[in-house]
Structure 1
Amino acid sequence: MVGPVKKISNNSKTMDYEEEQEQELEVLKSIYPNELEEIEDKVFRIILEPEESDSSAPLTVALRIEYTPNYPEEIPNISIDVINGTLNEAEKEKLNFELINVAQDSLGMAMIFTLSSLLKDLVTSFVVERKERITKEEEIRVLKEIEAEQNKFQGTKVTVASFLEWREQFNKDMAEKEKLEKSSAALKKEEAKKNKLTGRQLFEQDETLVNSDATFMEEGDVTVDASLFEQEIVYSEEEDENNNVLELVRNNTD
């Protein structure tokens, strides 16, 4: 004879879920005494450090959990807080995908410790990958520097064709340089001719040259007999300029 079937009320199920949640939370507190932070009723987070650390690229995350009314028969609300460092979009997508898959497989049982362990392992793998990538990039950088330094002493390989090309360009450059130097020298010579002053021009532009002789005569240092210059003297064309100078001297002494 089959006894009476007891009907389980929804309230009873709810009480069972709440009891399971409370029991799980107590266990988690004992496992993570310093890492678990209660935010509000049925909401908490567990701070997770990777197994391997990297000071150049630190990464610390927290698994945030919010119990839903029917947990563990349904997946709790799961999110990830980045405490230190950064996660790129690809890493975030991978974490969410892996956590949801494991949560689906764990329905009907306490799963928060499993999710925490999974998240810690994934974060550790990210840190290891980053360290390996940084190490590889540094090795490549050093190799490039060494190669560049070695190339300074190797120089450029010379072939017959490259030498002939260089010699042709060298001859062109030297011819151009010589042409410029000759042109510059001719220009300077022409300018010097244009700017050269005759004796008369010097006296006309600077009267002190004439007055200086007159001053000497006034002081008695030099005596000049102007009548000597009145004698008829025939000068060559080359001496015309000097005659003009003497004429200026005589006029000033008068």
Structure 2
Amino acid sequence: MTDYGEEQRNELEALESIYPDSFTVLSEIPASFTITMTSDPGEDDETVQTTLKFTYVEKYPDEPPLYEIFSQENLEDSDVTSILALLEQQAEENQGMVMIFTLVTAVQEKLNEIVDQIKNRREEEKRRKEKEAEEAEKVQFHGTPVTIESFLSWKANFEIEMSELRRKRQKEEDMSGKNKLTGKKLFETDHNLDTSDIKFLEEAGNNVEVDESLFQDMDDLELDEDDPDFDPVGLGSDED
């Protein structure tokens, strides 16, 4: 008959000596403890870390222990999922034997892989951004290839814009024409225009200069003195 308690105590003593700085007992009944592991340094000395919590069940090691990720640093959700899947696989493969050291070793190797994957992900992201920059530069210098669909779309938009531009210009011309008043409209708008010349003469008074040369040839004109309307000095005749 298997003495489960004895096997569990022996494993605990071995684990404490193997991991003196990272092994912590949480409880004795049931036996529960944590082991912290850190990856080897990666690029820029970056590391990932996780602390696993194990709890013995009554019939361990014939039945697998309870396990969970107690804490973690620099791990993504996908990394946590991968570690839990790895623990499940290793527990099934080593059932019937004490397995904590085996499980911890497998997770330690997984952490080192994750550090390498982080480096690869960063390099892949860098290449992706460089490729996007190159594609953007090609579009800038070479333009976008013209297809039948893109040309027809551009042509339709262009015709709409030109139609709108013509409409605005016609509207501006119509407004400009309305603002131009004819002579008749000017008189209708400003009734003072018809008396403006008279006011000018009244204000000028005796200051109006007469060109006498215009009257020098008056003697050469053939005037009919018998004409009742003849009035050489412009005095007119008074009627009673």
TM category, shorter: 0.5 to 0.7
The Cα of 1:115 is off from its aligned counterpart by: 1.2
1:24 aligns with 2:15: no
Query: Alignment partner for residue 35 of structure 2, among 25, 34, 46?
Result: 46
Contact 2:36–2:51, Cα closer than 8 Å, also in 1: yes
**Quick one: which amino acid aligns to residue 89 of structure 2?**
E
Contact 1:28–1:36, Cα closer than 8 Å, also in 2: yes
Partner deviation per Cα, 1:18-59 (whole Å, 9 max, x = no partner): 33322322221222122111111111010121235478x964
1:95 aligns with 2:82: no
Q: How does 1:1-254 map to 2 (within 5 A)?
A: 14=3, 17-41=4-28, 42-53=31-42, 59-84=48-73, 85-88=75-78, 90-91=81-82, 94-104=85-95, 107-108=96-97, 110-156=98-144, 176=163, 179-180=166-167, 183-184=170-171, 186-193=173-180, 198-199=186-187, 201-202=189-190, 224=205
Matched positions, count? 194
Distance 1:142 1:126 in 2: 24
Indicate the SS of the match to 1:33. coil
The Cα of 1:136 is off from its aligned counterpart by: 1.1
Change in Cα spacing, 1:195 to 1:70, as seen in structure 2 (3 Å) is farther
Indicate the SS of the match to 2:179. helix
Contact 1:39–1:45, Cα closer than 8 Å, also in 2: yes
Indicate the SS of the match to 1:198. helix
TM-score, normalising length: structure 2: 0.60
Change in Cα spacing, 1:23 to 1:176, as seen in structure 2 (3 Å) is closer
Quote the sequence identity (%): 21
Partner deviation per Cα, 1:93-141 (whole Å, 9 max, x = no partner): 522432323332xx24x32111110111123323433432332132112
Distance 2:136 2:38 in 1: 41
* Alignment RMSD: 4.4
Indicate the SS of the match to 1:18. helix
TM-score, normalising length: structure 1: 0.57
> Structure 1: 5+ residue runs without aligned partners?
1-9, 226-254
Contact 1:50–1:60, Cα closer than 8 Å, also in 2: yes
Contact 1:46–1:64, Cα closer than 8 Å, also in 2: yes
Distance 1:78 1:182 in 2: 80
Indicate the SS of the match to 1:193. coil
**Quick one: which amino acid aligns to residue 27 of structure 1?**
A
The Cα of 1:60 is off from its aligned counterpart by: 2.3
Change in Cα spacing, 1:202 to 1:132, as seen in structure 2 (3 Å) is same
